[in-house]
Amino acid sequence: MPDKSTALARLLPPARRRRTRVGLVAGGLGTYWPQFPGLLPQLKESTRYVSRRFEEMDADVTDVGFISDEREGAAAAETLRRADCDLIVMFLTTYLTSSMVLPIAQRSNTPVLVIDLQPTEKMSHADFDTGAWLAYCGQCPVPEVGNVFRRAGIPFRSVSGHLRQESAWERIGRWIRAAHVRAALRHARHGLMGHLYPGMLDVSTDLTLLPATFGSHVEVLEFDDLRHRMEKVTDDETAERVKVAREIFTLDDTVVDEDFFWGAKVSVALDRLVDDFALDSLAYYHRGLDGEQHERLGAGMILGASLLTARGVPAAGEYELRTSVAQLVTQAAGAGGSFTEIQALNFEDGVVEMGHDGPAHLAVSARDPLLRGLGVYHGKRGWGVSVEFDVRHGPVTLLGLGQDRDGTLSLVASEGTVVPGPLLEIGNTTSRVDFGRDPGLWVDEWSATGVGHHWSLSLGHGAGDYRAAASLLDIDYREV
């Protein structure tokens, strides 16, 4: 039987976006080659292994080959500059001078990761001559490169290990996942539809901030953009979306057919809106009045927005642009990410209960998601269907996008574990998260980070990935 992710991918084809681009350059000091004829072939063999490992990762790799002096380094820098990479990896195979690699970091305008992976765990001292030793000397220039990068104002990142050391490759993989995040945000188009939830001052975001910080674009939308597309949705298209929803969701007895069909129709229109504006995320809210069409549109978003999120286009209610960005970060890192806030604290069990009544990421659910009919949305106008499930038990990481007084953004993370126990049945995604400490103390520290009202709840312990992503994005990182 296919697993949940396979079934969802069949029903909800994942959104396509620009692939992550990783540049790779290897090098060593050319003075050695005539002195030790067997050294360069050995280093190039190691380089081929590294290149193959990178080709197996979910990225397009620009491999500029092996450099032996500063002129070849300058030529590699020009090739990588044109490639517009999201991360450049420098493989130091043996000693090389810092003048060979500094131009690559300077001219590419791209974050750099230095790796040095010696052939095996250790040298065979009794058998080695100078040439054999030099193949193990990739660590030798790492402090030199680190010093020169610091003096040049270039952030220094490195992974040291041996060629087939999986723990080293896991650390390298963390930087590749961070590159996925940088790629997603550099080219993202964030939809912002409707208006601010009245009074939520923390939600308000300067729209220039995302382009200035990440290079993203913010597309300002009206609910009329959705209304116009919904008016063109046919009955057959609505019926087909109802059929898909019935395969994905269990319908509670509280679901009213009229509300279900309305949500399905809005869902079809949402897909068209996302396609027409090439959106990578969507944040929305509209208050409306007395059951008029815009109120009904705002109330009918949850089904379609949840399906979009499952396809990799995260959606957040309450006009939460920064949270939809955080969801895109966790999605790009391969960990899902559902719109979340604190619901209550359980001091007896030592857990924080959290969830939301808005769009949900179906991939994080512990069971088949439920559609529940709601006669009222708490704090909002309208009525309709909402998604309910408990989050998959096990490790999770919260990730929010914080903002400080000077306007700068930060990634804010906290790792915990979803544990079993009683949950509300009110049309929300819900979870009981154990942070290994008094839940009140956790709330105090979490709230002091500048994280805001909402965040993304993602699967796995991914704080290391998000710390690396903050480094590549050149923003602050905070962890509780």
The single-letter DSSP state of residue 18 is P
Alpha carbons 286 and 264: distance in angstroms, whole number: 18
Q: Could you give phi then psi for residue 391, rounded to 5 degrees?
A: -75, 145
Q: Of the candidates 136, 135, 82, 147, which has an alpha carbon nearest to the alpha carbon of residue 108?
A: 82
CA distances from 138 to 43, 47, 93, 305 (A): 10, 12, 5, 49
DSSP 281-326: EEEEE---STT-HHHHHHHTHHHHHHHHHHTT--EESTT-HHHHHH
Long-range residue pairs from 124-133, CB within 8 A, at least 24 positions apart, any chain: 130/36, 131/32, 131/35, 131/36, 131/38, 131/39
Nearest to 249 by CA among 426, 382, 427: 427
Phi, psi angles (nearest 5°) of residue 329: -60, -50
**Domain residue spans in the chain?**
18-180, 188-479
CA distances from 121 to 118, 130, 166 (A): 7, 18, 12
d(CA 421, CA 434): 11
Distance CA 250, CA 404 (A): 42
- pTM score of the predicted model: 0.91
CATH 3.20.14 assigned to domain 188-479? The reply is: yes
Predicted local confidence at residue 338, as pLDDT:
86
Pure H helices in 249-289: 257-276
Instruction: Check residue 6 and give its pLDDT.
Output: 65
Beta carbons within 8 Å of 344's beta carbon, 6+ residues apart = 353
What does the block give as tokens for 40? 């360069």
Please state the φ and ψ torsions of residue 315, each to the nearest 5 degrees: -125, 145
Render each residue's pLDDT in the chain as its tens digit; 480 residues.
Answer: 345 566 667 777 778 888 999 999 999 999 999 999 999 999 999 999 999 999 888 899 999 999 999 999 999 999 999 999 999 999 999 999 999 999 999 998 899 999 999 999 998 888 888 888 899 999 999 999 999 999 999 999 999 999 999 999 999 999 999 999 999 999 999 999 998 888 888 888 888 999 999 999 999 999 999 999 999 999 999 999 999 999 888 888 888 888 889 999 999 999 999 999 999 999 998 887 777 888 888 888 889 998 998 899 999 988 999 999 999 999 999 998 888 899 899 999 999 998 877 677 777 777 778 888 875 555 454 556 778 777 889 999 999 999 999 989 999 999 999 999 887 776 677 889 999 999 999 999 999 999 999 999 999 999 999 999 999 999 999 999
Contact 448, 412 (CB under 8 A): no
Alpha helices (H) in 215-256, listed in sequence order: 223-230, 235-248
- The region, left, alpha or beta by phi > 0 then psi within -120 to 50, assigned to residue 384 is left
Q: Which residues have a Cβ under 8 Å from the Cβ of 314 and sit 6 or more positions away?
A: 281, 282, 308, 324, 327, 328, 331, 337, 339, 359, 361, 456
CATH architecture of 18-180: 3-Layer(aba) Sandwich (3.40)
- Which structure tokens are listed for 206? 């300067």
Say which residues have a Cβ less than 8 Å from residue 383's Cβ, sequence separation at least 6. 259, 299, 374, 375, 376, 377
Measure the CA–CA gap between 363 and 376, rounded to whole angstroms. Answer: 26
pLDDT at 2: 45
pLDDT tens figures, 291-312:
788 888 888 888 999 899 889 9
Helices in 30-123 by DSSP H: which ranges?
32-35, 39-55, 70-83, 102-108
* Structure-token match 């009981």, residue found: 432
